[in-house]
Structure 1
Amino acid sequence: MNTPLRRLATVVLVMFVGLMASATWVQYVQADRLNNDSRNVRTLYREFGNARGPIVVAGEAIALSTKVEDSYGYQRSYTNGELYSAVTGFYSVVNGRSQLERAANEELTGRGDRLFFSRIRDLITGSQPEGAAVETTINPAAQQAALDGLAGQQGAVVAIEPSTGRILALVSTPGFDPNALATHDITAASAAYQALDVADGNPLRSNATQERYPPGSTFKLVTAAAALESGQFTPASTLPAPVRLTLPQTSSTIGNFGGGGCGADPISLADALRISCNTSFAQLGMDVGSDALLTQAERFGFNDPDLTIPMLVAESVFPEDMDVPVTAQSAIGQRDVQATPMQMAMVSAAIANGGQLMTPYLVQTVRSADLHRVYETEPELYSTATSPGTAASLRDMMVGVVESGSGTSAQIPGVPVAGKTGTAQTADGQAPHAWFTAFAPADAPRVAVAVIVEHGGNAGNEATGGRVAAPIAKAVIEAVLGS
């Protein structure tokens, strides 16, 4: 009799241990995955059943939740949705979240670690849980100027305050209306998402932070920085400037824009940047060497897979282990060099800030539902990109670009502007991308900006960075300086 009882007790004990292990596995080990599973209807209803915090620009909510009489409880809505779509993204019952709605979800739902005491307070007082307000760094005038400047053309604009890293404008076109995705009509929300997913220009993906492009001649700022940092060159150093430069070890050549010369041969480094001489900078890249170019590019933020603003920014790429011909092509921002508009704004911001690159950020303050400040972003040094002397030389050279070089369309009366144009070749048969990056006032910088108009926009094959992108940058700078 004792033997069967012992066996039964053993079986029951094993089953009990298995039950405890299974419950522990589900409730502890798998808890986060199950809670975040989009198919978990309870999580969905719990999240939508609480008031989600607003996303705020200059004191005005551009994304907010209001009480509604349906099974979800609250409806998300967006003010000026297309203007701010690259900032807010969308928050959808059926399609999930994107951009700031995703990156700041813990704060917006009130579940973030910084809001622990707010949750305890709500539990004690019996108050309905509410999410925190996320106050952005966006300047509404600059944001509007960027969208107006792009005027239906596909591209992006990023503007940064050089001394802090605050992102003042973040625009991607084509944009979209997040309200169409936020509807609680699941059929309509799904149809809206599917239409945007296949639309020309991929509106759901931010060109400002998630797309990479050949930076073209805007990358010459990095090449010039590497040359100046080497101690072997100054702005007055002379460089060869042939009409065409034959690349070593190949039969390939590099030419200048329009197929002409650069006005003088040799030419000073300052003048080569001013008129954007390709052959001079290709030779300069070979003289400086691929290792120095790589080091300089990474000081500006290239090859960083972890940059967040808090949205993850796509990694801008400068290749390693290049041979000499590839180095020449890379020195003028072509071949395998790829950069986001955010990255090129960071290059100008670092130069504007005396060589000190500040980490860019989009969220200024997080406030609990009772308006208590629970988090404030403090400016943080990302890297020392150049010495102060090199930054000053680059600033003066960039002022020359705008005063009498390829970027005269960015001139602002009474305001010194430092800039660099770029006209980046793309696939055969396609018009080049038009780039411009700049900062102003050059002697006391308040804003650094990068603009790209994909495939020349309305100008097509006739586009240049100076003609197409520089006026947009000018409008954004004027908006910041006037606000």
Structure 2
Amino acid sequence: MNRELKRISALVLVMFTALFVASSVIQVFQSQNLEADARNQRARADQYSIQRGQILVSDGTAIVTSPRSDDSFQFDRDYKEGRLYAAVTGYYNPIGSPTGIEGALNSQLAGTASDRLLDRFQNILTGAKPRGASVQLTIDAAVQKAAYDALGDQRGAVVALDPRTGAVLAMVSKPSFDPNAIADHADGVKAYERLKDQAGKPLINRAIDSLNPPGSTFKIVSASTALETGRYKPDSMFPSPRSYTLPGTSTVIQNAVGEACGTGPKASIFTALKLSCNIPFAQLGIALGDDALRTQAEKFGFGQQLSIPLKVTPSVYPPAPLDPAQTAQTAFGQYDDRATPLQIAMVSAAIANRGRLMKPNLVQKVLSPSLAPSSQFSPEQLGTPVSEKTAEQVTAMMKASVDSGAATNARIEGVEVAGKTGTAQNGTNDPYTLWFTGFAPVSDPQVAVAVVVENGGGLGQSGFGNLVAAPIGRQVMEAVLKR
């Protein structure tokens, strides 16, 4: 009998020990993860009992606030000009995971971050009601509005960077949506389901999550690859026939207008980029090889994981091995090249910044509940994709493209602009994807921009980058220069 009692006692002790350990692990080590889990509705209700921090643009104007509510959640989430900033702020609601800055900095905005422990302790001592920290963005309200208006009803995205710091001055994705609908306590779930299935997929942030063939904007990378080898110069020549059959295939490629590049039987790298000629770049790509192109693309950020602090879908240069025909197509941004607008803006920004690539960043600072500075974000250099000499040479090519080449609709009176357009094919009968990327002023770059317009800009295969995307880029650059 005593033996049985001892066994039962030992079993009970083990069970109590296991329960104690499990509860301790949950309360001490997993508490933050549980609070952040979107399925934890009790935690979400608790977070709505705390006044969530504001989201502000660069001049300190609040674009997201948390006014008091008249229901059990105590506070609403109010998005000022919600559609204008949706790609940046994302949304926050009682059910589901927050997105955008709301998701990336959820613990700071909710006041549950580990670095807000002192604030919570002070609240207990003083009896003050807890409040979340606020986040001040790098977004410039005037530039954001210019980008939003310039994109109009097109399906696509715009990104504007300060090439000197990596600060994101504007980030727009269209079609957009109103975060207030999803944030609604009663009907937010229905609004989300409706938007999730809506044509045009407005919940996708096309600036950082949507991959498209970059077309001729990738020629900046190819030209940089050539110049960085030391074997080529801007005046290095390549044959320039009216058509070119890719090696080992029956596939025939042409330049944009089906003509030779320039006036002679050969064209320089300078002329080929200025006029956006595919055939010389195809031959250049074969001469360089896919390994060299891939390495250079990765230096610009292709294939790299990036947080701004929104997570960015990595852009793609296709993996090895590639045959000569495939390599030729990648050199002018086709085959399996895929890029986000942010990535293409990063390429231009590195060229503008004399070869130095700064990490893109959306957050200027985190502010305490009293709006006193709590933490400041400093510019961070990701790398040096090209030398200063190469950057200067590519800049000259891009400037010539705007002055008298394939990107003339990006010209700004009285300002030297460098730019590159792209008109990317998606299939035999599919509409083109239209691009522009560039920076200004050339002598002292203050903005680098990338524009993508999907679905041919409504023009099918009749649209091209200079017609549709370049004017959008021009308006965004003008907005920065007018500040």
TM-score of Structure 1 vs Structure 2, range by shorter chain = over 0.9
Match runs of 1:219-368 below 5 Å: 219-263=218-262, 264-304=264-304, 306-321=305-320, 322-368=322-368
Q: Distance in 2 between matches of 1:109 and 1:310?
A: 17
**Amino acid in the other structure paired with 1:345:** A
- Give 1:141 shift: 1.3
- Work out the CA distance in 2 between the residues paired with 1:314 and 1:11: 51
**Matching residue of 1:395:** 395
Amino acid at match of 1:118: D
**Counterpart Cα distance in 1 of 2:167 and 2:125:** 37
Pair 271,24 (structure 1): closer, same or farther in 2 beyond 3 Å: same
Aligned pair 1:192/2:191, yes or no?
A: yes
Paired with 2:31 and 2:60, the residues of 1 have a C-alpha distance of: 37
Other-structure match for 2:44: 44
Mapping of residues 79-228 of structure 1, within 5 Å: 79-185=80-186, 188-228=187-227
Displacement of 1:39 in angstroms is: 3.2
State the match for 1:67 in structure 2.
68
Deviation at 1:29, TM superposition (A): 5.7
CA pair 235-7 structure 1, distance change in 2 beyond 3 A: closer
- Specify the alignment match of 2:53 in structure 1: 53
- Cα deviation, residue 243, structure 1: 1.2
Q: How far does residue 13 in structure 1 lie from its aligned partner after superposition?
A: 2.2
Deviations 1:398-443 (A, max 9, x none): 0000000011111111100000010000123211011000000011
Name the SS for the 2:107 alignment partner: helix
Q: 1:145: Cα distance to partner?
A: 1.1
Task: Give the match's secondary structure for 1:74.
Answer: coil
CA distance in 1, matches of 2:170, 2:39: 35
Residues 162 and 446, structure 1, Cα contact 8 Å, conserved in 2: yes
Q: For residue 179 of structure 1, what is the amino acid of its counterpart?
A: N
Q: Kindly indicate whether the alpha-carbon contact (under 8 Å) linking 1:459 and 1:468 is maintained by their aligned counterparts in 2.
A: no
Which string of whole-angstrom CA distances, capped at 9 and with x for unpartnered residues, describes residues 20-51 of structure 1?
24434543565455433333222011111101
Which deviates further from its counterpart, 313-322 or 259-268?
A: 259-268
Instruction: Output the CA distance in 2 between the equivalents of 1:8 and 1:387.
Output: 75
Q: Tell which deviates more after alignment, 106-115 or 171-180.
A: 106-115
Contact 2:315 2:343 in 1 (8 A): yes
- Do the aligned partners of 2:39 and 2:95 also contact (CA within 8 Å) in 1? no
Q: Equivalent residue of 1:157, what SS?
A: strand
Distance across 2 between alignment mates of 1:355 and 1:386: 5
Separation in structure 1 between the aligned mates of residue 131 and residue 429 of structure 2, nearest angstrom? 53
Alpha-carbon distance in structure 1 between the residues aligned to 2:229 and 2:39? 56
Give 5+ residue unaligned stretches, structure 2: none
Aligned partner letter, 1:415: V
- Compared CA separation, residues 455 and 134, structure 1 to 2 (3 A): same
| CA distance, structure 2, for counterparts of residue 385 and residue 286 of structure 1 | 21
Deviation at 1:241, TM superposition (A): 1.2
Among all aligned residue pairs of Structure 1 and Structure 2, give the percentage whose two residues are the same amino acid.
47
Partner amino acid, structure 2, of 1:46? D
Aligned residues of 1:299 and 1:384 also touching (Cα < 8 A):
yes
Q: Following the alignment from structure 2 to structure 1, what is the Cα–Cα distance between the partners of residues 27 and 448?
A: 49
1:33-81 deviations in Å (ceiling 9; x for gaps)? 5433333222011111101001101211111101122100100011110
Instruction: Quote how far apart the aligned CAs of 1:252 are.
Output: 1.8
Deviation, 1:217, is 0.2
Distance in 1 (alpha carbons) for counterparts of 2:9 and 2:197: 62
- Letter of the structure 2 residue corresponding to residue 471 of structure 1: P
Partner of 1:474: 474
Distance 1:120 1:27 in 2: 18
Residue 91 and residue 8 in structure 1: after superposition, are their counterparts in 2 closer, same or farther (change >3 A)? closer
What runs of 5+ residues in structure 1 fail to find an aligned partner? none
Cα shift at 1:5: 4.2
Q: Distance in 2 between matches of 1:113 and 1:347?
A: 36
Aligned mates of 1:29, 1:123 — CA distance in 2: 22
- Confirm or deny: 8 A CA contact 2:45 2:94 kept in the other structure: no
Number of equivalenced pairs = 480
- CA distance in 2 between partners of 1:406 and 1:370 (Å): 51
Deviation at 1:259, TM superposition (A): 2.1
SS of residue in 2 equivalent to 1:254: strand
Q: 1:463 maps to which residue?
A: 463
How far is 1:118 from its partner?
2.1
C-alpha distance in 2, partners of 1:73/1:87? 25
Deviation of 1:286 after TM superposition, in Å, equals: 0.7
Distance in 1 (alpha carbons) for counterparts of 2:18 and 2:232: 72
CA RMSD of aligned residues (A): 1.5
* Equivalent AA in structure 1 for residue 295 of structure 2: T
Match of 1:141, SS?
Answer: helix
Aligned 8 A contact 1:354 1:392 in 2: yes
Q: Look up the SS of the partner of 1:75 in the other structure.
A: coil
Cα deviation 1:126-159 (Å, max 9, x = unaligned): 2111111100001111111111111111000000
Deviations 1:347-405 (A, max 9, x none): 00000000000000000011001222111110000110100000000111100000000
Q: Is the 8 A contact 1:114 1:374 kept in 2?
A: no
- Match of 2:312, SS? coil
Q: Aligned equivalents of 1:184 and 1:243: distance in 2?
A: 62
Partner residue in 2 for 1:438: 438
The separation in 2 between residues aligned to 1:56 and 1:468, in whole angstroms, is 32
Q: What is the distance in 1 between the residues matched to 2:327 and 2:160?
A: 29
Letter in 1 for 2:466: G
Contact 1:95 1:181 in 2 (8 A): no
Is 1:448 aligned to 2:416, yes or no?
no
1:25 and 1:225 map into 2 onto residues whose CA distance is: 53
Q: TM-score normalized by structure 1?
A: 0.96
CA contact (8 A) 2:221 2:296 kept: yes
Q: How many angstroms apart in 2 are the aligned matches of 1:13 and 1:148?
A: 68
**1:251 aligned counterpart, secondary structure:** coil
The code of the aligned residue for 1:6 comes to K
Q: How many Å separate the matches in 1 of 2:19 and 2:167?
A: 52
Distance change >3 Å, CA 3–CA 464, structure 1 → 2 = closer
